[in-house]
Amino acid sequence: MSAIMTNFDVDTSEAHGSRKWEGLSELDQAIRDNRLMEYRLKKSWADPWGRKLTIIGLIVIGAVFAFLAGASFGLW
């Protein structure tokens, strides 16, 4: 075995330690711009299940609001 460390070993260790997390760069930019809520809404709307749950949640909230408004006016 050789005790000499090649330049290749030094370069790969530096590159591995300073590796950029490219998948999280959009999230990092959103946090930096203080628009994390917008990021979460866009990601949720892009997901088919998230979109369905958002629509169902808004319909349920609307139905409860309509029921309470109707009850306060004496419709039922």
Q: According to the 3-state scheme, what is the secondary structure of the chain?
A: CCCCCCHHHHHHHHHHHCCCCHHHHHHHHHHHCCCHHHHHHHHHHHCHHHHHHHHHHHHHHHHHHHHHHHHHCCCC
- pLDDT, position 44: 85
- pTM for the whole structure: 0.50
pLDDT of residue 38: 83
pLDDT for the residue 37: 81
Specify the pLDDT at position 75.
86
- Distance CA(39)–CA(2), nearest Å, equals 51
Q: In this predicted model, what pLDDT tens digit does every residue of 3-58 receive, in sequence order? A: 565 565 555 555 554 556 666 787 777 778 878 788 888 888 899 998 999 899 99
- Residue 10: predicted pLDDT: 53
**Domain boundaries of the chain, sorted by first residue:** 22-73
